[in-house]
Structure formats: structure tokens, C-alpha cells
């Protein structure tokens, strides 16, 4: 079968490889669609070895269960599924409490649990083998849409769901960055909370995509932006700030608007630094504020909830599809910022 492989530095291309066999507890999927993510593009752009050479890329997988390995009874042949991106041990105390994204079976405290397309062969191929426990039925969703749910929708869902205690009546949320994840965050907030939502982005086109769905949009270049956010958020600032960008300036904005005992949640990984200044004479960060740095993916239950929201038509995003053989064009378009919504490879 054809597979899109990471071959080495700046080198991604197709190879013919054997069809993989599912082992105990695993199933083989015939891939229907596989999302292309900025993470994949960063692998290609990385001047050093990014992942193990020879790895099949693709962590946003939708497919049909086509073969069952030994000891699999939880799922049947022909089921359409998407794949949770985190393949955890299922036995440690974090897994047992449903925190697969903090699984303790990894190499060190700085090593997150791994999944397809980063550590194990992924879905940019005709077939992929995955743990049966990581394959969740998609309830009739179109595969090219379903494929983006495990990453682009589950990350913002994890952000919202982890902070529901803050999102009581009258609460406000600031979303920084209205790309794919930010757009999903807006629709998840609208579908599952009563919070007043404010969105900040530097791109007017990104703000246009969410303008009609939220209380206010603000361009990051506008004057006195922090003051305006605080004012919109009842004068004390948003209870939750979701920073999908993570630069020095977005983190500074987040810290200078968040409400007392509010949370700044930072999935964005653009290399910014958050300064936690405890000098009460100079700090812009209010009492009791928490910062959650680089939350990782989402839980399996988060993905199940996301699938249910999508099946009910409550969350959506534009999809740009590419035939599998044109995968490298998708990488180029994503790299150049030419993709509207999410880029997805279709296999048939």
C-alpha cells in the first residue's frame, strides 16, 4: 500500500509498504480521510530530525474497521470511526481517572503520551492499525469532517470542559486566535455554556469567521485592547482566557485581562514567555489567577463528547479536501496559509 512517510530532514514522500497486521487489542482501519495539521508541516520544516525516519504521518484519522486483531470484542467490522490521538497505557492512575493525556507510562515527566503519526504509523496511508480502545464510532458523520475532530475540536473542548467550574452565569471568556481551534472553541462555548465570548485576532478575515457568533470581536492592533476586553467582561475581566497563539504579546494580554481567580489556558505554542510577577506594585496579573501551560490534546471522553456535538450539528468548520496523491500540495498550502478551515486528505 502507499503511505506518506517522514523520510528525514525536510523530506516527506510516498513509499510502498506492506499492509500492517493488527495485534492483540488492535484493529485495522481502511482510512477514509486524514487531516493535515500544522504539526505535520512543522515536521517537514524542522531543520533537525522531527520524528523517527520511516514513520507514516497522519494523526487526524477517520476510517472503517476492516480487520480485528485477537482479543477485540468492543467494536465490530464495518464501524466508521475516528481515532483518539493519545494512545495511553489504560492502567496507570491517570488513565484510570480518565486523564489519558497525562498517562504516567511515558519516558519522563516532560514526555507526553504518544499516538499515531508522531510515534506510531499514522493515517496517511490506505490502512492503519490502531488500539481498539482508541477507535470511537462517528455516528454517520462525513469522514472528511469527522477526521478533524480528534485534534482541532478536542483540544478546544478539553479547554472548555476543564474550566466549566468558572463558566457560571454571567461569566466571560476571551478567545485569542480565531484559526481552526479558536473557531471550534467559539462553537463549543456557544453550544455548551452561557458565557459571553470575546475573540481577539490580528487577521480581520479570521474575525469575520466568528463575528456573528460572539458578543464582540477585537483586532489585536486596536488601541487599548486590554482595557476594552476588561470593560466588555463586566469590568473585572474574563474568567477564562484561551490563548491559542502563545506569543509574548498574547500571553501578556491574557495576564493583563484575566479576572481574579480566573484561568489563562494556553494551548498555543509559539514560544512566548509568561511573566509571573509577584510584586503587587507592578504586576498586571490579579490575585488568584492560574495559568495552565501547554495542555496536551484531550481525553477520550472529550472526543466522545465532541462527536456527539458534531452529530447534533452544533459544531462545524470549513474543510478543504485534497486527494491523497496530492498530499504534498496540502502541506504547501497549509505552510503558505492558503487553507480555509482544515486541510483533509481523502483516500477514495
Helix or strand holding residue 175 (H, E): strand 172-176
Closest to Zn ion by CB, 171 or 307: 307
Residue in the shown chain whose Cβ atom is closest to Zn ion = 37
The least distance separating Zn ion from the CB of residue 178, rounded to whole angstroms, comes to 17
Which 98-137 positions form the footprint of Zn ion (CB under 5 A)?
103, 105
Write phi, then psi, for 26 (nearest 5 degrees). -115, 160
Taking the C-alpha atoms of residue 2 and residue 166, their distance in angstroms, rounded to an integer, is 47
Closest to Zn ion by CB, 95 or 198: 95
Residues 6+ apart with CB under 8 A from 125: 1, 2, 3, 4, 17, 31, 56, 58
Which 172-211 positions form the footprint of Zn ion (CB under 5 A)?
none
How far CA 196 is from CA of 23, 127, 171, 234, 290, in Å, comes to 48, 43, 6, 10, 20
Closest to Zn ion by CB, 83 or 103: 103
Secondary structure class of 201 (helix, strand, coil):
strand
Can you list the positions of beta strands (E) in the chain? 2-8, 11-16, 26-36, 60-68, 80-83, 127-131, 135-137, 172-176, 196-201, 216-219, 240-243, 263-266, 290-293, 319-323, 342-346
Distance of CA 272 to the CA centre of its chain: 19
The least distance separating Zn ion from the CB of residue 32, rounded to whole angstroms, comes to 17
The least distance separating Zn ion from the CB of residue 59, rounded to whole angstroms, comes to 6
Closest to Zn ion by CB, 57 or 195: 57
Taking the C-alpha atoms of residue 71 and residue 204, their distance in angstroms, rounded to an integer, is 52
Out of 17, 51, 75, 92, the only residue in the binding site for Zn ion (CB under 5 A) is 92
Closest to Zn ion by CB, 123 or 262: 123
Closest to Zn ion by CB, 217 or 244: 244
Out of 80, 144, 151, 201, the only residue in the binding site for Zn ion (CB under 5 A) is 151
Cross-strand pairs, 27: 68, 130
Closest to Zn ion by CB, 88 or 263: 88
Out of 88, 172, 193, 263, the only residue in the binding site for Zn ion (CB under 5 A) is 88
Contact 320, 311 (CB under 8 A): no
Taking the C-alpha atoms of residue 93 and residue 79, their distance in angstroms, rounded to an integer, is 30
Closest to Zn ion by CB, 213 or 320: 320
Of 73-81, 88-96, 247-255, 304-312, the window that binds Zn ion (rule: CB under 5 A) is 88-96
Residues 6+ apart with CB under 8 A from 163: 240, 263, 265
Per-residue cell: 217: 470581536
The least distance separating Zn ion from the CB of residue 100, rounded to whole angstroms, comes to 7
Out of 89, 142, 202, 218, the only residue in the binding site for Zn ion (CB under 5 A) is 89
Per-residue cell: 311: 452529530
Closest to Zn ion by CB, 60 or 66: 60
Per-residue cell: 85: 490521538
Count of residues interacting with Zn ion (CB under 5 A) = 9
The least distance separating Zn ion from the CB of residue 56, rounded to whole angstroms, comes to 15
Of 91-99, 181-189, 235-243, 283-291, the window that binds Zn ion (rule: CB under 5 A) is 91-99
* Residues 22-51: x where in contact with Zn ion by CB under 5 A, - otherwise, as a string: ---------------x-x------------
Contact 103, 89 (CB under 8 A): yes
Taking the C-alpha atoms of residue 275 and residue 295, their distance in angstroms, rounded to an integer, is 18
The least distance separating Zn ion from the CB of residue 137, rounded to whole angstroms, comes to 21
* Residues 277-316: x where in contact with Zn ion by CB under 5 A, - otherwise, as a string: ----------------------------------------
Which 217-246 positions form the footprint of Zn ion (CB under 5 A)?
none
Residue 95 binds to Zn ion (criterion: CB under 5 A): yes
Give contact residues for Zn ion (rule: CB under 5 A): 37, 39, 88-89, 92, 95, 103, 105, 151
Amino acid at each position: 500500500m502507499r503511505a506518506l512517510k517522514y523520510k528525514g530532514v525536510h523530506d516527506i514522500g510516498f513509499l510502498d509498504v506492506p499492509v500492517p497486521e493488527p495485534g492483540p487489542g488492535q484493529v485495522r482501519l481502511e482510512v477514509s480521510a486524514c487531516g493535515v495539521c500544522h504539526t505535520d508541516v512543522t515536521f517537514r520544516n524542522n531543520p533537525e530530525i522531527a520524528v523517527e525516519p520511516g514513520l507514516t504521518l497522519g494523526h487526524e484519522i477517520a476510517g472503517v474497521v476492516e480487520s480485528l486483531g485477537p482479543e477485540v470484542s468492543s467494536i465490530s467490522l464495518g464501524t466508521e470511526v475516528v481515532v483518539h490521538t493519545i494512545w495511553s497505557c489504560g492502567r496507570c492512575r491517570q488513565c484510570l481517572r480518565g486523564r489519558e493525556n497525562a498517562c504516567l507510562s511515558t519516558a519522563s515527566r516532560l514526555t507526553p503520551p504518544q499516538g499515531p503519526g508522531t510515534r506510531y504509523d499514522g493515517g496517511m496511508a490506505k490502512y492503519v492499525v490502531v488500539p481498539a480502545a482508541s477507535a470511537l464510532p462517528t455516528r454517520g458523520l462525513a469522514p472528511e469532517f469527522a477526521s478533524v475532530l480528534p485534534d482541532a475540536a478536542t483540544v478546544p473542548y478539553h479547554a472548555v470542559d476543564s474550566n466549566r467550574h468558572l463558566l457560571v452565569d454571567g461569566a466571560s471568556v476571551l478567545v485569542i486566535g480565531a484559526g481552526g481551534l479558536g473557531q471550534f472553541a467559539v462553537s463549543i462555548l456557544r453550544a455548551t455554556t452561557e458565557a459571553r465570548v470575546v475573540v481577539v485576532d490580528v487577521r480581520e478575515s479570521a474575525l469575520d469567521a466568528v463575528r456573528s457568533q460572539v458578543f464582540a470581536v477585537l483586532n489585536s492592533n486596536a488601541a487599548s485592547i486590554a482595557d476594552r476586553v476588561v470593560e466588555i467582561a463586566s469590568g473585572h475581566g474574563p474568567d477564562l482566557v484561551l490563548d491559542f497563539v502563545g506569543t509574548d504579546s498574547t500571553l501578556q494580554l491574557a495576564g493583563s485581562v484575566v479576572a481574579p481567580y480566573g484561568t489563562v489556558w494556553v494551548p498555543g505554542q509559539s514560544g512566548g514567555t509568561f511573566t509571573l510577577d509577584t510584586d503587587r506594585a507592578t504586576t498586571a496579573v490579579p490575585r488568584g489567577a492560574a495559568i495552565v501551560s501547554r495542555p496536551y490534546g484531550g481525553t477520550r471522553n472529550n472526543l466522545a463528547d465532541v462527536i456527539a456535538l458534531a452529530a447534533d450539528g452544533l459544531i462545524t468548520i470549513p474543510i478543504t479536501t485534497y486527494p491523497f496523491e496530492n498530499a504534498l500540495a496540502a502541506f504547501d498550502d497549509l505552510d503558505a496559509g492558503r487553507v480555509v478551515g482544515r486541510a483533509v486528505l481523502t483516500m477514495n
